[in-house]
Structure 1
């Protein structure tokens, strides 16, 4: 079972997230919090595989909570829930090590897929979030969209052909095991490729690498339901 904590200051949102996750037989919501401070405390108490955090919460917000969770309980992966207009917050959370980013108004299946991906050690950006991050970067003095795409393609061009294949699936939210099965490789080989990809791209985590994959336009299409 994938043990999950939910944190959101709106009870109705928490109830909705819990109801969606309850439809997945392999996911168990073990705790709920109304703010970031309580989320951190409950993560320490319950040690969930995944913490699903709202970005904006009173007191300790989701970004601060995510950073503290990653620092003190690194085995817990963090999925951020966002709404439109929070692109700056998404970039902060990305830099803080959050592994998943989902839009509250997205499809329920995305929430389940994101939790499963992060529990498996993968990064998961919903397509809408990825598109917004790329567009936001291009509109904030970080370079025009065409320029960022060119730069991303140049960075990806430094990878080997196999590393590009791995990055394409990584950008789709697949775990090392799932990538290994897609490419008929040993999981340890995929892990080594991912480490090399992060180093060559100059990024700190899989979520940041996924952004580069989206910028370069090499994300593999999500195929039939991702195997567990």
Structure 2
């Protein structure tokens, strides 16, 4: 295991898809595949033992399992960047991916180069998923409403809101379609 390389773990119900992703990434000099497995909770112990920098999670098949697994990974290991992959990306899944704290949400029809770029961005701590909000006002509105609900629940919860008043204002403008 080379610690200078970006460590990646692949999770999908589809064996052939996992092999294809592994093949596409294995020839990249700065990326190392730690392993691949089906989407299930057993992967958590493997990730605890050999934590990757980036976890690729396929949310097709049983979307709930992939979303829940991504959320569990982020709860247990906040330093792991989660990239969710979907064959039918839509606003509902994007919103769920945001709630699961995914760093990126990608369509499966991307090129190998696009996947490599996303892995590199996420490994650097970037969140390409946030860029999706500027082009998806409906999702931005859902996020804005979620934060409004959070701040209504209690003063204590509002205090820990991750958005500043200015960020809330900007998100509101995006939700209204101004950007």
Same fold (TM over 0.5): yes
Q: TM-score, normalised by structure 2?
A: 0.72
2:2 paired with 1:14: no
Q: For 1:202, what is the secondary structure of its paired residue?
A: helix
Output the aligned Cα RMSD: 3.2
Which residue of structure 1 aligns with residue 86 of structure 2? 82
Unpaired segments ≥5 residues, structure 2: 145-161
Contact in 2 for aligned 1:91/1:133 (Cα 8 Å): no
Structure 1 outlier segments of 4+, above 4 Å: 57-60
Q: Structure 1 46/6 Cα, relative in aligned 2: closer, same or farther at 3 Å?
A: same
Number of equivalenced pairs: 152
State the distance in 1 between where 2:123 and 2:112 align: 17
Judging changes above 3 Å, is the alpha-carbon distance between structure 1 residues 81 and 132 closer, same or farther for their aligned structure 2 residues? farther
* SS of equivalent to 2:105: strand
Q: TM-score, normalised by structure 1?
A: 0.57
**Where do residues 197-216 of structure 1 align in structure 2 (5 Å cutoff)?**
198-199=163-164, 200-202=166-168
Distance of aligned partners of 1:216 and 1:111 in 2 relative to their CA distance in 1, 3 Å threshold: farther
Cα distance in 2, alignment partners of residues 60 and 88 from structure 1: 12
Q: Which runs of 5 or more structure 1 residues have no equivalent in the other structure?
A: 144-150, 152-196, 204-208, 218-228
Q: 1 CA distance for matches of 2:98 and 2:27?
A: 28
Matches within 5 A, 1:144-183: none
Conserved in 2, the CA contact under 8 Å of 1:100 and 1:123?
A: yes
Structure 1 residues 14 and 28: CA distance shift in structure 2, 3 A: same
1:26 aligns to 2:4 (yes or no): no
Q: Tell me, what secondary structure is at the counterpart of 2:33?
A: strand
Question: How many Å apart are 1:41 and its aligned residue?
Answer: 2.6
Q: Distance in 2 between matches of 1:126 and 1:21?
A: 24
Cα pair 1:67 1:96 within 8 Å, conserved: yes
Equivalent residues of 1:51, 1:78 under 8 A apart: yes
- CA change 1:136–1:52 in 2 (3 A) is same
* Structure 2 SS opposite 1:94: helix
* Partner residue, 2:73: 69
